[in-house]
Chains A and B, each alone.
Chain A
Amino acid sequence: MCLAIPGRVKEIYPDHTADLEIGGVIKKASLELVPQASVGDYVLLHAGFALEVINQKKAEEIFQAWEGK
C-alpha cells in the first residue's frame, strides 16, 4: 500500500495541483506536500499526492558506485 511511482511535473495549477506524466499517461496530483516542485521535476506520486521531489543527483550515484566494477 506504500507504493509510490515517479512522474514528471508537466503543468502546475494555482490550486497546488499538477498534471504529472507517468509512462505517457497524465495523472492529476496534489503538490501540497512538495510546494518546492517545479515543472520538469520528477516527483513520487502516492494516493493522489506527490510525497517528494526526486533528487536527480542522488539518483545517479548508484550507477557511479557500481559501473565498471
Chain B
Amino acid sequence: MKYIDEYRNKNLAKIILKQIDGLSHQPINLMEVCGTHTVAIFRHGLRKVLPPHIQLISGPGCPVCVTPIRYIDEIIAFAREKEFIITTFGDMMRVPGSTSSLEKEKAKGADIRMVYSTLDALQVAEDNPFKKIIFVGIGFETTAPTIASAILKAEKEKIKNFFVLSMAKLIPPVLKGLLESKEININGFLYPGHVSTIIGSQPYSFIASQYHIPGVIAGFEPLDILQSIYMLVKQIENNQAEIAIQYERAVKPEGNEIALARMKKVFNQVDSDWRGIGRISRSGLEIKEDYHPFNARKFAVEIEETREFEGCRCGEVLRGIINPPQCSLFTKICTPENPRGACMVSSEGTCAAYYKYGNNI
C-alpha cells in the first residue's frame, strides 16, 4: 500500500541504523509516548536491531490502559439499565472493571454494540429512537475531534437520544505530570504522530524549553521510527532540545485547525484521573455546558465501589518505571486470555505487546 510499503524498506533501515550507531555510544533512554508506536516497534522488531545503548521505554499513550477502573464501572452501570444502548470502540469490551466487564454484561443481555466510528453510534441513535444511546468517548486528541463532530452533528440534525460519556484525555498535560513526578529518566521523546496531526508541534514546546528534553513527532512505519530516533540522538549528542517533526507528510506545525476548533467548541479542559498515574491538571475533556443535552453524565447511575486487582503493576508500566516482566503476575496469572490489568487487555498495552512479541524484545 502506498505510504506504507515504501517505509518498510530494509536497505534504508540498515543505512539509518548504521548512522544511529555512528552518532553516539552513551546510554540514551527514549520514551515512545504512543501505544500505536509501541505496537509498531515490537511488530517490526526494532528494539532488537537498535544499538544496545539506546533503550526504548513505553509511555502512557494507550487510552484503554489509562482509563481508571471507576470509569469502566461507570459504563457498566449504564449498561445495566435497560433504557440505554452502549456503543463503544471494541477495545473497551474486555477491560476488567471492579466486578465485571462490558463483555460479561453483554453476555448477560445488556445491549452493548461495538462501533468503528462516532458516526456509526449516531446511526444507532437514529435507528433506535425510543432508546438512549451512550457513546463511550474514550481516546486522545486523535479521536476527540471525531467525538466533537458527532455531538455537533447530533445537535444540527436534532438527534435527541445520543449522549457521550466523555473519557477523552490529552497527551501534553500527562507528559508534564510524568516529568514533574521525577520518577523517570528520559533523554528524548518520540511524540505521537496522529495526536500531533491534530495538535501540531507547539503544545510540546514547554518540554523542550522548560525541561531541556528534545522531542520528535514520529510516523508509524519502521523508517519513520528509525529516522525519528536518529533525529533525537543527534539532538541529544549536540545538547539541543527542540521539537522536530519527522512525520511531515501528516503533521503541520499548527495541526488541524478545523479539528482543534471543534474540540474547543464542544469540550472544556478539566482535571482528569489517569490509571496508575493519578490526577493530572487539565488533562481531560468534559462536555461544555452548551452541549449538556448530549452529556451522558446528566443521567444518574449508581456506580459500584472500586476494587483494584491486587498485585497489578499496570500503573508503574504506564509511567515507564518498570517493564512488564518485572510484574509478578505477568504471563503467570495475567495473560491476554485472562487479563488482570488494562495494559494486558488492549492490543496497544505494553504488557500485551511484550506478551505477543516477546521474541522481538
A, B from the same assembly: yes
Binding site for B on A (CB under 8 A): 1-6, 8, 22-23, 30, 32-35, 42, 44, 46-49, 51-52, 54-56, 58-59, 61-63, 65-67, 69
Known: A2-B35, A2-B142, A55-B249. A8 touches B149 (CB 8 A): no
Known: A30-B119, A47-B89, A47-B118. A66 touches B15 (CB 8 A): yes
B244 CB-CB contact with A under 8 Å = no
Point out the residues of chain B lying under 8 angstroms from A61, CB to CB: 248
Asked if B2 contacts A4 (CB within 8 A), the reply is: no
Which listed residue (A1, A33, A67) contacts B348, Cβ 8 A? A1
**B272 is an interface residue with CB less than 8 A from chain A:** no
Partner of A33, one of B19, B118, B223, B258: B258
B3→A42 contact, CB < 8 A: yes
Residues of B within 8 A of A22 (CB): 1
Residues of B within 8 A of A35 (CB): 258
**From DSSP, what is the main secondary structure of chain A's interface residues?**
mixed
> Quick check: A54 and B194 within 8 Å, CB to CB?
no
Closest to A6 in B: B3
State whether A48 touches B36 (Cβ < 8 A): no
Interface size class of B (residues with CB under 8 A): 35 or more
Question: Within B24-49, which residues are at the interface with A (CB < 8 Å)?
Answer: 34-36
B248, A51: Cβ atoms closer than 8 Å? no
Bound-complex Cα distance A44 to B46 (A): 24
Contact B142 A33, beta carbon cutoff 8 Å: no
**Interface positions of B from 67 to 96, Cβ below 8 Å from A:** 89, 91
In the complex, whether B6 has a CB less than 8 A from a CB of chain A is yes
A69 touches B15 (CB 8 A): yes
B139 within 8 A of A: yes
CB distance from B315 to the nearest CB of A (A): 19
